[in-house]
Structure 1
Amino acid sequence: MLAILLLRADQVVTTSELVDAVWGENPPASVHGVVQTHISMLRGVLEPNRPRRGQGEVLRSVGNGYSLALGGARYDWREFERTLELARQHRDEGNARAAVEWFGNALRMWHGEPLASVPGPLASVERARLNEISLGVQEERLELLVALGRHTAAVTELAALTSAHPVRERLRALHMKALSRCGRRADALAVYTETRRVMVDELGIEPGSELRELHQRLLAHDEPERAQQATAAPPAAPPAPVRRPVVPFMDEPVRAAISPAQLPADLADFTGRTALVKKLTAMLTPRTHRTAPPRGLVAGIGGVGKTALAVHAAHQVRQHYPDGQLYVDLRGAGPDAADPLNVLSAFLRAFGVSPNATPADLDERAAMYRSVLAARRVLVVLDDAADVAQIRPLLPGAASCGVLVTSRRRLPEAQWDEQVELEGMSRQEALTLFSRTIGAERAGAEPDAVEAVVDACGRLPLALRITAAKLVDRPQWTVKSMADKLARERGRLSELRVGNLEVEATFHLGYGQLDPDCARTFRLLALPEGPALSLPAAAALVGSDPSLAEPLVERLVDLNMLASPAPDHYAYHDLLRLFARQRAVQTDPHPERVAAMSRLGEFYLATAATAGWLIQAPLLDRERFRRQYQHSTPQAGPRPYPGGVPLTDLRSAFDWVGEQQATLLATARQFLIDPDLPSGMVVDLISFLELYLANGTHFGEIGQIGALAVRDAQVTGDRRVEAWGRRKVGEAHLRRFELPQAEHELTESVRAATEAGDNSALATALDLLGTVEFRLGNGEQSLAHLEQALALSRAEGDLVREAYVLGTIGRTQSERGQFDLALEACESSRGLHEQLGNDTGLARTLYLVGTVFQRAGRLVESIDPLEESLAVCLGIEQTFGEGHNLVMLSRGYLADGRAEQAAAAAARAKEAGEAIGDAHMHAMAVAELGRALHALGKHDRGDEHLRSARTMLTDLNSPQAAAVSALLDRK
């Protein structure tokens, strides 16, 4: 995986691309979890000091993929490319001797097979590609050696290479020339004879014309052209002159002399976009087999750098279009888009066509334009196109021409050889551009402020150039002062203007193209936080059915006012979202904005209610389940999808929550921060999903949301919201083994729930408080809390909560040594979960039965319930439960004398912990792996794992650290 990310350095590689590259058509089960595991391991090596929850600076998560941001870091492939570029530069400048030296430097970087031992389909393809590149570079160097008259040195290397590549004609020809110039004409003829024999016998073809002609000259004693101590490689032959047709409306002298060069100047500091430049220039490079002109489209939002990229790529290939380069700004984003009739007139004048000879009819004028360009090599750059109708008359018909179009729209109805969807720059590209503009010394003095400015600009090139230009014009300003200005969202867009450059004005051009319905959709979809919106969520925001909302959001995507990172999912560029929100504040009354967000909250709540029911109690009456967990009052009036997304089974419920969890948590935070939105809805939303979200590593984030709920409740006086918020904060402390803090928050939660009269919230808080008290050594107090929680759950008829409390009672009794009572409680819990159809709860109870057996010293008996629990977890793809079961199973297998199976279980548990970022699970798995390795006689590795586990558990403040320390002391 590291090799793939390096090969695509500074680019985003999606998860699906990684899966295809590494495993092809045979990915392992839970492959996305495996990918996350490998990413986590790579981050541990590449960025060992990165906070566990922090975004990586080197290996970054971007959308649905990852990017290895190397910046100026050195690695062999990049060094090879740089060295090769120097070699070719020396050759092109006529310094052949220096070029040979640099080609040699490049080739000395190669050591054996590239990507040796790296598995996977992509590695196989890349290995072949890299080997081909290496061989091509060797040929370039040997050509120069022969041209310089260093024939003897070349012969030795060519003999080895032609032996390894017997049908590579370029090598054979070089070998023959070198032998001939060494006075070994007979050997040169023998090389041809051998080459022909191999090609005829193995391929069934004769050698190519170059080899045959060389052979004939040798037979005629006509030595191949000798370069007497040449100083440069022979220049490539110029393209054959084209035979232009006679154009009656142009004078021959004019036709021969005019070669328009209309391209705007390239940016001196053009930065990044390397892969896209290569893609466009490769597309525009002439090829003999073409029957139609190559056409490329660069699409993207305003200010993203479409024109800069197109002009830069055009300058890279202008030598291939010696008959001219045409350029026009079509002004397609504004109200005064260029008329193609007028553009054609200007293009024809550029080639010397008299205005008097230009037809008035558009079709006739376009036909004349195509005639003028027929068989000419002309590059046409059409900038800022409005639509296909505008550009269709401007497209040449000759395959010898090339076309590059930029547009804010995707223009899907046209056919493109390359279609580039331009997004914001990579972080490293943006940092490089900004630092280069303001000066490396100034940027280096305030690196944190530079990063803050780049983030505030959303890595949009226009915004970066404006901000940098302001700083250059104001040398007395610090970069931090600019970062502070941009940190204020309300005034950010107004700061992003200098001279005639303005980000907001650029966005206004696109916004002005929207009809009223699209404009309203554009504004309302920007209101919620979160990474993306699904189509049903977008429909809820605008208050319509998804079938009616879809054409509106898809039109926004076509206009690049909205991105679609996945089918039926939509997202904004950061600055464009800010622009849309400002338009919403200016256009949509406050009650309408609140109503839109309330509709979204109700949509999420309705879907979460269905998902929670399917996950926790599908055999229970659905409406009864909803009434128990929902306290907020829905908004009156008709609503689209009143039941939310129509989830039908457990799999669809898990899929929806897994896909939407980041958006749901962002929405929850927003509802608690905005005083105009109903905070009680957040309590219900997360309560429905509580058991799903608890089976993972979201407790820290939900704890932060809980703290926001407490703050909100202290303003509103809503004790129910406070009870919920304090419970979430307390649970986060409990998961981090911060027991005194957990006890305080949960005690306050119990008090608030009692005053609110919310018995369900009170039972849940007492359940958690019972766990905390036991870990603090207060066994009697612990059971008292749990018995009270059980009584409240039964009084409320809350079978789900009753089942979970019974499991907690069983765990607590087993820790007190009351194993029979513990098993009895667990069996009662199991029966209720089976009655509810709650596989998640059933897996938990079976796991608890296994732990009871283990605490009783009956480790072998624990295997059956733990394996049964593991099977349930695998069936519902619950990685959290899978990992914890595997940790305990490792102990059971070891007690049963199955050390290899114990090691395998612990290794799988370690992977599960890494996949979901559960540091405690990971540490416990490492400890069990250490024990298993000792049992297998691998004592050094076993001690290494145990020491690592002790360090991790100590850092986590886990009571298990003492047990691992004692184990190491005994060993």
Structure 2
Amino acid sequence: MPVPSTSTTSEPLRFTLLGPVRVWRGERELTLGPPQRKAVLATLLLRADQVVTASELVDAVWGDSAPASVHGVVQTHVSMLRSVLEPERPRRGQASVLMSVGNGYSLAVGSATVDLREFEKTLERARQLREEGNARDSVDWYARALAMWQGEPLSAIPGPGAVIERARLNEIVLGVQEERLELMVALGRHTAAVTELSALTGAHPVRERLRALHMKALSRSGRRADALAVYTDTRRVMVDELGIEPGSELRDLHRRLLAVDEPPVQQQPAAPPPVQPSRRPVVPFMDEPLPALIAPAQLPADVADFTGRTALVKKLTAMLTPRTHRTAPPRALVAGIGGVGKTALAVHAAHQVRQDYPDGQLYVDLRGAGPDAADPLNVLSAFLRAFGVSPNSTPADLDERAAMYRSVLATRRVLVVLDDAADAAQIQHLLPGSATCGVLVTSRRRLPEMQWDEQAELEGMSRDEALTLFSRTIGAERAGKEPDAVAEVVDACGRLPLALRITAAKLVDRPQWTVRSMADKLARERGRLSELRVGSLEVEATFHLGYGQLDATSARAFRLMSLADGPGLSLPAAAAVVGEPEREAEPVAERLVDLNMVASPAPDHYAYHDLLRLFARQRAAQTDSKQDRIDAMVRLGDHYLGTAATAGWLIQAPAQPREKFSVKPGGVKLPDLKSAFAWFEDEQPALLASARQFLTDPDLPSEYVVDLITFLELYLANGTHFGEIGQIGELAVRDAERTGDLRVEAWGRRKVGEAHLRRFQLPEAENQLTRSIAAAEKAGDPGALATAMDLLGSAEFRMGRVEQSLAHLERALAIAHDAGDLVREAYVLGTIGRTQSERGEFELAMGACEQSRGLHEQLGNETGLARTLFMMGLVYQRFRRLVESIDPLEESLAVCLGIEQTFGEGHNLVMLSRGYLADGRAEQAAAAASRAKELGEAIGDAHMHAMAVAELGKALHALGKHEAGDEHLHSAQALLTQLNSPQAAAVTALLNRK
């Protein structure tokens, strides 16, 4: 939720569009909320001081995908923006910044600063100086203008309006860069110009103006051959990709370069040609071409000193080189033991052919050798995001998500590198189907069940290759003095690249050591990693050697950091594990990276090679006491829980008061909602892995998971993760059965029951929730008891047991009231309202809902408010007042869209379809039901999907499409019957009347 500023409105506002859309009041950044709200603000800013109609806003932000109640959504976003921009304005007072004008809105900028306007003013001055012949000052003003750009304009803003405006702004800034570079070349600043032009021409290879400038700058720098090479490359690209020759300017310049050298550099430039400043107004939705998608380039950096494997690299690159006759994508597998260099080889080969895959290179570490292998569903989601596919458009079903992935890649030339695959099942959905793509897989297994165009079983390097790699790393001169010792070290390392690099790093770090001393140490330290047998024990000795070079602080960090499950640790998490401030933990962690003991896949993130993790854990078991190891994990848990609590409270108040959580001081300090979402996005895999570890390790306190997942669910509250949380609930139940912890049992069974309830598996839900209530009663936990009873009441309601449902709900309400739990009280009141309606008590039902609404508004709980408004819509519909249900349902939908809650959005659309149909708006009803059907499929909500199919069938009949309507109704009947839903009878009755 936006946080009102504590500053006074007299402080000036500052808006940015040339990068992320952001707003400051004075020095304090304001929280704007979800992307669609930012899109509304951006559209108004682009036409500041003008009236933008509501329809224009809808077209800009949603286009053809606007929900049926979109105008209510717009009103909600405008209302929330007003509360941020004018925090001291009375609730119903006259707005002075974001004003309603007729059927639209106007954003009065006044004395506020807008970076786009400042850019245009600065650019106008630069062009004026250029026209006056003052090139030097003009270049400076151009630089000032370009410095205002902070990356992609309107970054992460959704909607067709933003797409078009981004294209226009990107074209503007590219033109401005060209104007500035022309002046720089004219002024003789060739070296600086060449540097910038190299990058720009790489990003825009067929832009002839840039290419011509590049050629001129190179020629005038004395690099005539390089200038001619630019022309050759330009012509190749244009002929291959566009089928045309370069234009006359480039051809003429090329001829002049071939004939004679460019004239000497002018010390004082001739007056540049006048450039007319752009008079085009800043108006969105201009009819301009859309930008090409930026091709993802996810390959890790190539190994600078890659050695050997020449024949294999040649085979892989030849196989991956595109050929016109292919009907399927080429596939290559590199298999072998851990540490043998599979990843380095794959990345090196991929870099050799990346130019043949201009539409992108995808890379993922599948972590197949460890206990936390990557889920193909999540990998597909990341790959689709890399091509701009919104998470909200991504199907929940694995087969459907894989089909979308293959469709996205169908016409593209993309290289896919799947590193460390566990088995064929993990990668089968990650393989593209188009012959224009290429696939390179590494695995410890041979994967014989799959077909490969090239398959290599990678072994240790040849002796010569290993000697070359080791000697190159420690220095040829040093190696040449002790050739016999070098050979012994290479053999002791098993010729494995990972072992060789660790050993060489120790020698580089200890220049006073002889290679002979290293060889002797390796010979003495074998035999300590027996469970990782690979035919010899040399790898173990190498790891001991690398470990031995660590000082006490680094060695302790190496051991303790390895104890955490999951893909890796961020710097704050690593600092928590070792019990040191970040400023002290960072150099220690970076030293481990420098010595190849841990990897750093991203800045301030650390991960272990699986062999080294096992080695480090073994050393921890031998070196650190059991209590020290437990304390390290508890510190990590406190860090995760403390930060999750901070982030969770920024996103939405949970359904328990703050004092109910056992959160210790600490964790990352997050300043705003944006940083809260970013932290959860970054740490979500680690948090889930931590929850599983605390529930499966009998030495760790499992009760920590209860609070952690409560906060994590606030981030995951879009209805797409209840299955995964349910699985963690099952682990909690098993842990509670072992420990007898009733609070953990109550929580775990509640989570399992809730997952069953979401899937409409009602008997299973009833069983788990009943047992959760029993555990909560024994534990004396009123909050857990009230929550479980509320859910059980919902399950019984769905099973048609209205009286039993109401009895549990009224008891839940009394418990919450006695405990002073206003949040839970508000939720239960809404459920009671829905349930009372089934008894024919309209006034009682609506009264309970109104009480619930008032409490949620008082608490600022948008999630709860959306739920209660939905319940009010249900009450109206239960009494056949379908048209009256539209207002609360549209209001609920607007809130759900504002907080990006897909689950609530879908259920509102199902009910709105009924209301629209009763109001004679059959097309709107069909659109709402169709969208709800899509959402039900996407998030795996079978009941939502089935109900949406039923409503779509009714709407199609109303539109005269009776055959399609019957088809949908029969489908809904089958789905609802399969779910044992009471709604099946209503659909059956409807079909019998036809």
Inter-CA distance 599–865: structure 2 relative to 1 (3 Å threshold): same
CA distance in 2, matches of 1:460, 1:950: 54
The counterpart of 1:536, out of the listed 567, 572, 590, is 572
Question: What is the match of residue 657 of structure 2?
Answer: 625
Alignment of 1:636-651 (within 5 A): 642-651=665-674
Q: Partner letter of residue 935 of structure 2?
A: A
Inter-CA distance 837–648: structure 2 relative to 1 (3 Å threshold): farther
Match status 1:671 vs 2:703: no
Inter-CA distance 711–203: structure 2 relative to 1 (3 Å threshold): closer
Question: What is the match of residue 680 of structure 1?
Answer: 703
- CA offsets, 1:739-794, max 9 Å, x none? 33332332222222222222222111221222223333332222111111111111
Match status 1:584 vs 2:616: no
Match status 1:304 vs 2:341: yes
Inter-CA distance 938–677: structure 2 relative to 1 (3 Å threshold): same
What secondary structure sits across from 1:530 in the alignment? Answer: coil
What secondary structure sits across from 1:834 in the alignment? Answer: helix
Contact 1:199 1:205 in 2 (8 A): no
Contact 1:543 1:599 in 2 (8 A): yes
Count of matched residue pairs: 581
Alignment of 1:346-365 (within 5 A): none
Match status 1:929 vs 2:966: no
The counterpart of 1:721, out of the listed 741, 744, 760, is 744
Inter-CA distance 312–501: structure 2 relative to 1 (3 Å threshold): farther
CA distance in 1, matches of 2:566, 2:765: 29
CA distance in 1, matches of 2:782, 2:558: 43
Inter-CA distance 499–763: structure 2 relative to 1 (3 Å threshold): closer
Q: CA RMSD in A?
A: 5.5
Structure label with greater radius of gyration: 1
CA drift at 1:679? 1.5
- CA offsets, 1:431-484, max 9 Å, x none? 9999999999xx45xx89x9xxx9xxxx9956999xxxxxxxxxxxxxxxxxxx
Inter-CA distance 609–434: structure 2 relative to 1 (3 Å threshold): closer
Inter-CA distance 569–28: structure 2 relative to 1 (3 Å threshold): farther
CA distance in 2, matches of 1:756, 1:426: 42
Question: What is the match of residue 581 of structure 2?
Answer: 545
Question: What is the match of residue 148 of structure 2?
Answer: none
- CA offsets, 1:524-546, max 9 Å, x none? 22222233433322221121223
The counterpart of 1:521, out of the listed 554, 557, 564, is 557
What secondary structure sits across from 2:565 in the alignment? Answer: coil
Question: What is the match of residue 613 of structure 1?
Answer: 649
- CA offsets, 1:336-356, max 9 Å, x none? xxxxxxxxxxxxxxxxxxxxx
Question: What is the match of residue 322 of structure 1?
Answer: none
CA drift at 1:825? 0.8
The counterpart of 1:782, out of the listed 797, 805, 828, is 805
The counterpart of 2:772, out of the listed 733, 749, 758, is 749
CA drift at 1:697? 3.4
Question: What is the match of residue 731 of structure 1?
Answer: 754
- CA offsets, 1:275-305, max 9 Å, x none? 9999xxxxxxxxxxxxxxxxxxxxx994333
Question: What is the match of residue 769 of structure 1?
Answer: 792
Question: What is the match of residue 599 of structure 1?
Answer: 635
CA distance in 2, matches of 1:890, 1:798: 35
CA distance in 2, matches of 1:492, 1:967: 73
Inter-CA distance 539–900: structure 2 relative to 1 (3 Å threshold): farther
Question: What is the match of residue 830 of structure 1?
Answer: 853
Question: What is the match of residue 900 of structure 1?
Answer: 923
CA distance in 1, matches of 2:596, 2:979: 46
Match status 1:817 vs 2:840: yes
Q: Partner letter of residue 630 of structure 2?
A: V
Match status 1:918 vs 2:957: no
Q: Partner letter of residue 699 of structure 1?
A: F
Alignment of 1:138-287 (within 5 A): 266=310
CA distance in 2, matches of 1:547, 1:646: 15
Q: Partner letter of residue 659 of structure 2?
A: R
Query: TM-score under structure 1 normalisation?
Result: 0.51
What secondary structure sits across from 1:685 in the alignment? Answer: helix
Alignment of 1:213-612 (within 5 A): 266=310, 302-305=339-342, 424=420, 443-444=448-449, 494=530, 496-499=532-535, 504=540, 511=547, 514-557=550-593, 561-565=597-601, 567-612=603-648
The counterpart of 1:805, out of the listed 812, 828, 851, is 828
Q: Partner letter of residue 550 of structure 1?
A: E
- CA offsets, 1:371-420, max 9 Å, x none? xxxxxxxxxxxxxxxxxxxxxxxxxxxxxxxxxxxxxxxxxxxxxxxxx9
Q: Partner letter of residue 820 of structure 2?
A: G
CA distance in 2, matches of 1:792, 1:463: 67
Q: Partner letter of residue 669 of structure 1?
A: R
CA distance in 1, matches of 2:925, 2:528: 57
Inter-CA distance 787–864: structure 2 relative to 1 (3 Å threshold): same
What secondary structure sits across from 1:737 in the alignment? Answer: coil
CA drift at 1:581? 2.4
Question: What is the match of residue 724 of structure 2?
Answer: 701
What secondary structure sits across from 2:900 in the alignment? Answer: coil
5+ residue gaps in structure 1?
1-25, 35-118, 123-128, 133-164, 173-194, 211-261, 279-299, 317-419, 466-490, 635-641
Question: What is the match of residue 12 of structure 2?
Answer: none
Contact 1:920 1:956 in 2 (8 A): yes
Question: What is the match of residue 638 of structure 1?
Answer: none
CA distance in 1, matches of 2:595, 2:975: 50
CA distance in 1, matches of 2:688, 2:607: 16
CA distance in 1, matches of 2:442, 2:342: 17
Question: What is the match of residue 898 of structure 2?
Answer: 875
CA drift at 1:839? 1.1
Inter-CA distance 946–575: structure 2 relative to 1 (3 Å threshold): farther
What secondary structure sits across from 1:549 in the alignment? Answer: helix
Contact 2:313 2:345 in 1 (8 A): no
Inter-CA distance 570–547: structure 2 relative to 1 (3 Å threshold): same
Contact 1:733 1:741 in 2 (8 A): yes
Q: Partner letter of residue 809 of structure 1?
A: I
What secondary structure sits across from 2:566 in the alignment? Answer: coil
CA distance in 1, matches of 2:905, 2:350: 52
CA drift at 1:864? 1.4
What secondary structure sits across from 1:303 in the alignment? Answer: coil
CA drift at 1:833? 1.0
Inter-CA distance 498–679: structure 2 relative to 1 (3 Å threshold): closer
Q: Partner letter of residue 912 of structure 2?
A: L
Match status 1:853 vs 2:876: yes
- CA offsets, 1:107-151, max 9 Å, x none? xxxxxxxxxxxx9999xxxxxx9xx9xxxxxxxxxxxxxxxxxxx
Inter-CA distance 616–208: structure 2 relative to 1 (3 Å threshold): closer
CA drift at 1:427? 6.3
CA distance in 2, matches of 1:437, 1:611: 39
What secondary structure sits across from 1:677 in the alignment? Answer: coil
* Higher RCO by CA contacts (8 Å cutoff, separation 6 or greater): 2
CA distance in 2, matches of 1:617, 1:592: 35
CA drift at 1:898? 2.3
**Which range is displaced more, 652-661 or 425-434?**
425-434
CA distance in 2, matches of 1:734, 1:676: 32
CA drift at 1:691? 5.6
CA distance in 2, matches of 1:270, 1:500: 30
Query: TM-score under structure 2 normalisation?
Result: 0.50
